[in-house]
Amino acid sequence: MAQQKIFGYANRISVKQGEDITFYVNCDGASEAQVQLVRLIHGDAHEAGPGFQEEEVAHPANGSWKVKKQFTQLGSFLQVADPDNRLAVDGAFTMFCHIWPTIPKKGERQTLMGRWDTKNNTGFALAINPEGRLEFQVGDGKEVDYVTAELPLVARMWYFVGVSFDPASGQATLYQEGVANRYNSLLGKVVPHDYASHVRQTFRFRQKNAPSTPFLIAGSRDHHLLRGDFVSDLFAGKIDRPAICDRVLSREELDACKTGAKPNAAAILAWWDTTAGYSDRGVGQTVFDSGPHGLDAEGVNHPVRAMTGFNWNGRDDCFRLAPEQYGGIEFHPDAVTDCRWEETARITVPQDLKSGIYAMRLRIGPGTGITEEYIVFIVRPAKPSAKLCYLIPTASYLAYGNESLSFDAHIIQPMTGQPPVVTELDVETYEHREYGLSTYDHFEDGAGVCFSSYLRPVINMRPKYRMSSMNITWQFPADLSISAWIRHQGYDCDFITDEDLDREGLDAIKPYNCVITGTHPEYVSERMLDAQEDFVAGGGRLIYMGGNGYYWVVGFSRDNPACMEVRKLDSGMRAWAAKPGEHYLQTTGEKSGLWRNRGRAPQKLTGVGFIGEGFETASPYRKMPDAWHRTVSWITEGVEGEIIGDQGLAYGAAGGIELDRYDLSLGTPPHTKIIAATGGHSDNYVLVTEELLYAYAGLVGSLDYRIRGDMTYFTAPNHGAVFCTGAIGYGQALPANGFDNSAAKVLANVVEAFIKDGPLPGTKWTLEEKQWR
Amino acid sequence: MTDPDIISEDADIHVRANFDRFTRAYLLSVLSDALIEEHRLKPEGHHSEPLTRLLNWCQTRPLDEQYAVLAGTDGRFRVVRLSGKRRVPPAPVGTESYATVREARHAAFLNHIKDLTGK
């Protein structure tokens, strides 16, 4: 029997009562799965907490679902819509493009462009052969003819490459020239390489064009008995302005095209203008053909746009300044943003299902490990009714989706201080990698991953999962500790997601008195940030439950909220660095990187911002003098002594993992009170890089007082207020000791004050009394 | 010169090897049973300077010289060695299994010591 495993995803991450949600399941070794709708209560089996808890929910969809093996198309490429087969050229033609290959000597063929059927060896294609040389081939289903460049291509150098083929004479002529300038490529002109190759060969065979073969850019058609048609020979690197003409172009004509000029219009069959479609709001996934037939190409699995092209001059650093220099489209053979599986089942969320965090639980065989799947979704109320709203940080879940730092990241063990603890699930998904990567990973060519989507199984967005590198819960399963506490307290609470906030803005949270965040709301779009700022300024109360929040600028395309984009750059604790000139989001046109570097440090909204991170250990908080201030002493009421949060599921205390600090120089509201702070962390805790101007020895927990988590509070207009815990670990401290602990007590004081209408406690003191310290 | 293969070898590895040689020489000079015991008793948090430096060496070795802990479905923990190659899973190291993560992590540490001393 085949190894049993089951994985799935849903078409939505947030669904309202009464709406439909569709599930997609891939299963090996079973044809039926036992399915149960569950409400997720608590996600971690840690002995200090309540353990894993779920609640089965009656639903007509419960029972047995038919499941099957489904296949995932990995790799990004462009598919040309050519219904009339105008590109099934039987006569003479020329194809050309600018390329920036990243793994030319990959050991596998990489198709640049063409109409090629790999299974039947029919058609024509310009490609890079396994040894890294430019190659053109034609095939008639029986025989294949090739012409190959004399020199291998050099990685990360821009070239202009092309081929002319005349079936009448059989002459195939390859054209390869380097087009590196001072900025656009890895190497400068001091390197004595010869990049040019011009080879002519007479072919014995001609192309046979099967009607069903698509014209693809960065891949070619393949077929498998079980899987059907798919795309293989995927290219790694950039392609700029590919084109095909209906005759042989002369060497002089191609010399002109090398500079970016269009050939004579009469010759053009298609000329994909990769610089067209940009606006100050970004660019989409359609690549427009400016040729006579309008054969536009559509991106599959998000080829990356807003990337520098062959003619980037190093001066204009954004497509908004010079779109003509941003024709580069970057392709990755291991990218996937939509598995595109066949639908397995669709259910309607009952009108009376309480707002909360749910999952379809699927089990086959033993029903544990990789034979158990939880497809998670958030149920929103059809109409808001609670005073408290839990804002589920789904953008951050996407950012970390399927991260594999334990296996691939050299930095992870020095960062965490310990060997990772991996499971069968981690090994399985790492080995097969069919479900894509996180924005913490690199593609196989070393480029950082800037897109992440939930239209694929996300193995760490499920209960019971611990992040292997840290051996604690992280993001989704960690946030279940907060919802478990909300439930334990008996608070009436509505649940919404980042996606809802991004699409609806302030309207999504305006009905609530209090919004509480997850443990690590790190990835934030402008609309999400604006909504929360306006909410607080308008009298809303915000509880920021974590650390390293409101950090990265992200974008969602309007037509595909399932997919998030981020570019990591300049400063900040970052897994990769976007290349020069590639710092702007294609989905929105905004500069990405840290909100701090765009004038909106997290301190301005919350009072605190990222200052340090460490793993292995955590610390409790100690009350600071402000804790006893008459305007805020209600926050710590019932907590005897000075220590808060000395228990927890993440390294034994509330004050740990990633820490945020009060900093007036970054916009902390001047009247902010520091209620309590951690401190004296181990030297595994280090200062964040955005704080660094000059590095020097001693920027570690035991030597730098700045490395601490600050619990803060400030009031805002119209009875608004913000309370921050200042540490990721706080949320995971809530369930400790049966939810009876000082961290939970403080939070209860705050939530109970925040959900009440009218003035907050401590606001009736006179101005003079408020000044007292 | 026209052969791009000339850039396929990274000369930096020689410099790293030189740095590693004198780092190992220092670590061998301070390695002791007491140091190993210090790790066993307290693998996380503040350590003595020799142990801090030893752990830094362990944690920054090349990926294919790194160890991890595999949590088995039987509730036991085993030491595995990372492949350092994409999509190649870690390989088991020995047949021992451990009751706790802490014990397994110490066993991973002992494997680093074995690599350091060659014994």
pLDDT tens-digit profile of A499-547? 999 999 999 999 999 999 999 999 999 999 999 999 999 999 999 999 9
Question: What angle is formed at CA A178 by the lines to CA A177 and CA A181, rounded to 5 degrees?
Answer: 145
Residues A714, A717, A720, A724: is their CA dihedral positive or negative?
A: negative
Helix (H) or strand (E) holding B37: helix B33-41
Kindly report, residue by residue over A463-477, the tens digit of the pLDDT: 999 999 999 999 999
Q: In A, residues 104-143, which contact B (CB 8 Å cutoff)?
A: 105
Residues A314, A320, A322, A327: is their CA dihedral positive or negative?
A: positive
Q: Of A474, A262, A462, A483, which is closest to residue A356 (Cα–Cα)? A: A483
The answer to whether residue B6 is domain-embedded is: no
Cβ neighbors of A392 (< 8 A, separation 6 or more) are: A14, A357, A378, A479, A495, A496, A497, A498, A518
Domain map of chain A by residue range?
A: 5-72+343-379, 77-331, 388-609+712-767
Residues of chain B predicted below pLDDT 70:
1-8
Kindly report, residue by residue over A411-441, the tens digit of the pLDDT: 999 999 999 999 999 999 999 889 999 999 9
Q: Out of A369, A433, A444, whose CB is closest to B73?
A: A369
Query: Which residue type is seen at A752?
Result: E
3-state DSSP call for residue A234? coil
Topology of domain A5-72+343-379, CATH = Immunoglobulin-like (2.60.40)
Please tell me which residue of chain A has the smallest CA distance to B91.
A427
CA–CA distance, A305 with A122 (Å, rounded to integer): 30
Cβ neighbors of A483 (< 8 A, separation 6 or more) are: A40, A41, A356, A357, A390, A493, A495
On whether the CB atoms of residues A756 and A513 are closer than 8 A, the answer is yes
Topology of domain A77-331, CATH = Jelly Rolls (2.60.120)
The answer to whether residue B76 is domain-embedded is: yes
CA–CA distance, A679 with A11 (Å, rounded to integer): 44
Q: What percent of chain A has pLDDT over 90?
A: 97
A5-72+343-379 and A77-331 agree in CATH topology = no
The answer to whether residue B86 is domain-embedded is: yes
What does the pLDDT read at residue B16? 95
- CB distance A418–B5 less than 8 Å? no
Mean pLDDT of A717-735: 98
* Strand order through the sheet with A20-28: A5-10, A20-28, A345-348
On whether the CB atoms of residues A174 and A181 are closer than 8 A, the answer is no
**Chain A CB contacts of B43 below 8 Å:** 418
Model confidence at A557, pLDDT cuts 50, 70, 90, reads confident
- Whether residue A457 lies within 8 A of chain B, CB to CB, comes out as no
- CB distance B69–A420 less than 8 Å? yes
Any alpha helices (H) in A560-703, and if so which ranges? 603-606
**Chain B CB contacts of A423 below 8 Å:** 70-71
Range of the structural domain that residue B64 is part of: 12-117
Residue A591, both tokens: 């500069």
**Chain A CB contacts of B105 below 8 Å:** 418-419
- CB distance B90–A407 less than 8 Å? yes
Q: What percent of chain A has pLDDT over 70?
A: 99
Model confidence at A479, pLDDT cuts 50, 70, 90, reads very high
**Dihedral angle over CA of A753, A759, A762, A766, nearest 10:** 180
The answer to whether residue B93 is domain-embedded is: yes
Q: Out of A152, A414, A617, whose CB is closest to B59?
A: A414
Cβ neighbors of A767 (< 8 A, separation 6 or more) are: none
Mean pLDDT of A121-142: 98
Model confidence at A767, pLDDT cuts 50, 70, 90, reads low
Q: Out of B63, B73, B108, whose CB is closest to A419?
A: B108
Other CB atoms within a 10 A radius of the CB of residue A294 amount to 10
The answer to whether residue B103 is domain-embedded is: yes
What does the pLDDT read at residue A764? 81
Q: Number of folded domains in chain B? A: 1
CA–CA distance, A253 with A264 (Å, rounded to integer): 9
CA–CA distance, A67 with A62 (Å, rounded to integer): 14
Model confidence at A773, pLDDT cuts 50, 70, 90, reads very low
Kindly report, residue by residue over A72-97, the tens digit of the pLDDT: 999 999 999 999 999 999 999 999 99
Q: Out of B7, B44, B68, whose CB is closest to A617?
A: B44
What does the pLDDT read at residue B1? 40
Kindly report, residue by residue over A634-657, the tens digit of the pLDDT: 999 999 999 999 999 999 999 999
**Chain A CB contacts of B115 below 8 Å:** none
CA–CA distance, A600 with A312 (Å, rounded to integer): 30
Phi/psi at A228 (5° precision):
85, -155
Q: How far is CA A605 from CA A135, A608, A662, A665, in A?
A: 56, 8, 11, 14
What does the pLDDT read at residue A2? 63
Q: How far is CA A445 from CA A104, A142, A565, in A?
A: 10, 34, 19
- The DSSP bridge partners found for residue A311 are none
- Whether residue A424 lies within 8 A of chain B, CB to CB, comes out as yes
Averaged confidence pLDDT in chain A: 96
CA–CA distance, A523 with A537 (Å, rounded to integer): 21
What does the pLDDT read at residue A560? 85
The answer to whether residue B4 is domain-embedded is: no
On whether the CB atoms of residues A50 and A78 are closer than 8 A, the answer is no
CA–CA distance, A418 with A398 (Å, rounded to integer): 25
CA–CA distance, B117 with B110 (Å, rounded to integer): 10
What does the pLDDT read at residue A769? 59
What does the pLDDT read at residue A296? 98
Pairing of strands A673-677, A710-716: antiparallel
What does the pLDDT read at residue B119? 86
Mean pLDDT of A5-25: 98
- CB distance A419–B88 less than 8 Å? no
